[in-house]
Amino acid sequence: MQRVIRWSRLNREFLGLSVFLFVLGVVLGCTLHSSQIDHLVAGSVDKIRGINQMYVQTGSKPWVLALLILANNLQIALLTILLGTLLAIFPVVLLLLNGLSIGYIVTKVSVTGNTAIWKLVLAGVLPHGMFEIPAFLLAAAIGMKLGASWIRPMRGSSPWRSYVMAWRESLRVIPFVISLFIIAAAIEGFITPVLMRMWG
């Protein structure tokens, strides 16, 4: 944990940018008219539908849902980190789209399903989101750090050496990110459906 805190302090500009972009995406997703962003969030919505379909087809077992969510989140996080090398563009786009998707889905479900937004947030987002969202923010910050290491290498170092050093630092944080995703997936698979049935 000390390594994560130290990394976060040293890279607070990347973490701060991650938080800002994510929050901006959520605000836009909640406020823009659905016709303006339908095409932007279509991929995320389709992926969620695909996970739900596989969950139902396999007998609606909580552990299946948890594994599907974990696999999806780890895949996105891995792409975010690896593709962040490309001048940090991918993490920026991903943060905006993730925030946009959350704002869009929560708002749309609350309107079409006659469920109050606060119930959706407390029961459907917050329990697993308090682990999943920080994990994504850290993954995006790592991706940005890797991309920035090429553009803005450390003083006295080549871009390649700065990139290698950025990877060494990031490898100390990645296990923590994975553990957050595991906890989030377990909650979303076992606890969130129960809360949604109770509060939905």
Task: Tell me, yes or no, whether 178 lies in a domain.
Answer: yes
**Residue where the block lists tokens 């975010």:** 80
Expressed as residue numbers, the domain containing 156 is 2-29+40-199
Spatial contact of 147 and 25, defined as CB atoms under 8 Å apart: no
Task: Tell me, yes or no, whether 34 lies in a domain.
Answer: no
Domain count, the chain: 1
The one-digit pLDDT tens for each residue of the chain (200 residues) are: 888 899 999 999 999 999 999 999 999 888 886 666 777 666 666 666 667 677 666 677 888 889 989 999 999 999 999 988 877 788 998 899 889 888 888 777 767 666 666 777 777 788 899 999 999 999 999 999 999 988 887 777 788 899 899 999 999 999 999 999 999 999 988 988 888 777 65
Spatial contact of 73 and 81, defined as CB atoms under 8 Å apart: no
Torsion, CA 128, CA 75, CA 173, CA 181, rounded to 10: 20
Task: Tell me, yes or no, whether 35 lies in a domain.
Answer: no
Distance CA(189)–CA(164), nearest Å, equals 37
Q: Please state, in angstroms and as integers, the Cα–Cα distance from residue 131 to each residue in 86, 108, 116, 138, 155, following that order.
A: 27, 23, 23, 11, 35
Task: Tell me, yes or no, whether 65 lies in a domain.
Answer: yes
